[in-house]
C-alpha cells in the first residue's frame, strides 16, 4: 500500500519535472525588445514570401493551358516556398511577441515537421530543375520524351521523398525540439540521433547540392565551348547565345542564393553535432536561422522579378486586367525555349545551326 503510494508520488514528481523542463526550454533567451525585432522581421518576411509566391502561382495558373512540363516545377517550388510561411511562420511570430513558445510540445513538433517537409521539398525541386536544365541544353532529344505526366510524377516523388524524411522523427529516428533561443522548433541538434543527422545531411542537403553543382558546372563548360564556336557566327546567332547564357546565370544565381541562405544554418548545426561541448551564443545562432527562413522569398524574386516573361504579366495583376499572350507557345520557365547547337561536318566545311526547341 505504502509502496504504491510512494511509486505514484515518484511518477508525479517525474512528470512535474519534465513539464518544468519543457516550460523552461520554451522560454525565450532574448530580451523582450529583441523578440519584438525578430517578430517584425518574420512578419515582413512572411508577407513578402506569401505575396510573391502567390503572384507566381496566379500568373502560371492563369496560363495553365499553355504550361509546359518545366513550368510545373516552378509551381511546385512556389507551393513549397509559400507553405512554411503560411502555416509555420505565424507560430514563431506569436511566440516572438509572447516571449516564449506558446504552442507546447505538439505545436513544436508540427512546426519542426512543416519546416523540414517544405525545406527538403524546395531543395529537391531545385535539384530536379537543375538536372532538367542540363538535359534541355545538353540532351535536347531526351527532353522531347518528357511529358506533363512525367513532370507531375516527379513532383509527387519529390513530396513523398520530403515526407519520408520529415516523418522519421515521429517514428523514433531523430526528434523535433525547440531551438536554443526558445521561440522556434526544428530537428533536435543538441541531443541528436547521430545516424539520423548524418543521413539527413547526406541525402537532404549533400545530394541536392552535388546535383546542382555538377549540372551547372557541366553547363558552364558547354557554354564556354559554344561561345568559342559562336565567334564565327553572325550577330543574330550571338544574341541568342547571350540569351541562353543569361538564363543559365539566372538559374545559377537562384540556386547559389538559396544555398547561401541555408549553409550558415547547416554549418551551425554541424558544429552542434560534431562538437557537443561548443557554446554558440544564442544571439549569433539565431542569425543563420533567420537567413534560412528568408530563403522562401529568394525563388519568387528571381523567377518573377528577374524573368522577363513572368514580369511582363505583373501589370495585368496590379490593374486587374487580362491580356492576351502573343506568344502562346512559349513557356514561362527559363528551362524552356532553349536554343541548341547542331554541328555537322561535310568535307572541309563545318556548318553550325542554331535551333530552338
Backbone angles phi, psi at 187, to 5 degrees: -65, 145
The CATH code of domain 29-314 reads 1.20.1070.10
Segments of the chain scoring below 70 in pLDDT: 1-23, 142-143, 192, 223-248, 250-251, 304-357
pLDDT of residue 120: 94
Residues in Cβ contact with 69 at an 8 Å cutoff, skipping those fewer than 6 apart: 146, 147, 148, 150, 151
The H-assigned helical ranges of the chain are 2-25, 32-62, 69-87, 89-98, 104-138, 140-143, 148-167, 194-200, 207-230, 235-274, 282-293, 298-300, 308-311, 314-318
Computed on alpha carbons and rounded to an integer, the radius of gyration of the chain in Å comes to 25
pLDDT of residue 308: 62
**The pTM is what?**
0.77
pLDDT of residue 281: 86
pLDDT of residue 154: 92
For the chain, the domains span: 29-314
Give the dihedral sign, CA 244/246/205/88.
negative
Q: With beta carbons less than 8 A apart as the criterion, state whether 185 and 191 touch.
A: no
Whole-Å CA distances, 157 to 76, 147, 202, 274: 12, 16, 18, 32
CA distance 42 to 38: 6
CA distance 144 to 128: 17
pLDDT of residue 159: 95
pLDDT tens digit sequence for 7-52: 444 444 444 445 555 567 788 889 999 999 999 999 999 999 999 8
Amino acid at each position: 500500500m505504502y509502496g504504491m503510494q510512494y511509486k505514484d508520488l515518484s511518477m508525479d514528481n517525474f512528470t512535474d519535472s519534465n513539464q518544468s523542463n519543457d516550460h523552461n526550454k520554451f522560454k525565450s533567451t532574448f530580451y523582450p525588445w529583441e523578440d519584438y525585432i525578430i517578430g517584425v522581421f518574420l512578419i515582413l518576411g512572411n508577407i513578402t514570401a506569401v505575396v510573391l509566391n502567390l503572384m507566381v502561382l496566379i500568373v502560371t495558373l492563369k496560363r495553365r493551358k499553355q504550361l509546359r512540363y518545366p513550368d510545373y516545377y516552378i509551381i511546385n517550388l512556389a507551393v513549397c516556398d509559400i507553405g512554411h510561411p503560411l502555416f509555420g511562420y505565424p507560430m514563431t511570430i506569436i511566440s516572438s511577441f509572447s516571449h516564449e513558445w506558446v504552442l507546447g510540445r505538439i505545436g513544436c513538433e508540427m512546426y519542426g515537421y512543416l519546416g523540414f517537409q517544405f525545406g527538403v521539398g524546395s531543395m529537391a525541386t531545385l535539384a530536379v530543375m537543375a538536372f532538367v536544365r542540363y538535359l534541355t541544353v545538353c540532351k535536347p532529344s531526351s527532353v522531347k520524351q518528357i511529358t506533363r505526366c512525367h513532370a507531375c510524377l516527379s513532383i509527387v516523388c519529390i513530396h513523398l521523398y520530403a515526407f519520408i524524411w520529415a516523418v522519421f522523427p515521429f517514428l523514433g529516428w531523430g526528434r523535433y525540439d525547440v531551438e536554443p533561443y526558445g521561440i522556434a522548433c526544428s530537428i533536435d541538434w543538441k541531443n541528436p540521433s547521430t545516424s539520423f543527422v548524418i543521413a539527413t545531411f547526406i541525402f537532404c542537403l549533400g545530394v541536392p547540392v552535388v546535383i546542382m553543382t555538377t549540372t551547372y558546372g557541366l553547363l558552364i563548360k558547354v557554354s564556354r565551348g559554344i561561345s568559342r564556336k559562336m565567334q564565327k557566327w553572325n550577330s543574330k546567332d550571338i544574341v541568342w547565345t547571350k540569351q541562353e547564357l543569361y538564363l543559365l546565370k539566372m538559374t545559377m544565381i537562384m540556386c547559389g542564393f538559396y544555398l547561401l541562405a541555408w549553409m550558415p544554418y547547416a554549418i551551425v548545426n554541424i558544429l552542434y553535432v560534431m562538437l557537443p561541448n561548443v557554446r554558440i551564443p544564442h544571439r549569433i545562432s539565431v542569425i543563420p536561422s533567420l537567413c534560412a527562413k528568408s530563403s522562401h522569398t529568394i525563388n519568387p524574386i528571381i523567377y518573377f522579378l528577374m524573368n522577363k516573361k513572368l514580369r511582363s504579366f505583373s501589370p495585368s495583376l496590379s490593374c486587374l486586367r487580362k491580356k492576351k499572350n502573343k506568344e502562346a507557345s512559349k513557356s514561362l520557365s527559363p528551362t524552356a525555349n532553349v536554343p541548341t547547337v547542331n554541328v555537322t561536318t561535310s568535307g572541309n566545311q563545318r556548318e553550325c545551326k542554331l535551333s530552338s526547341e
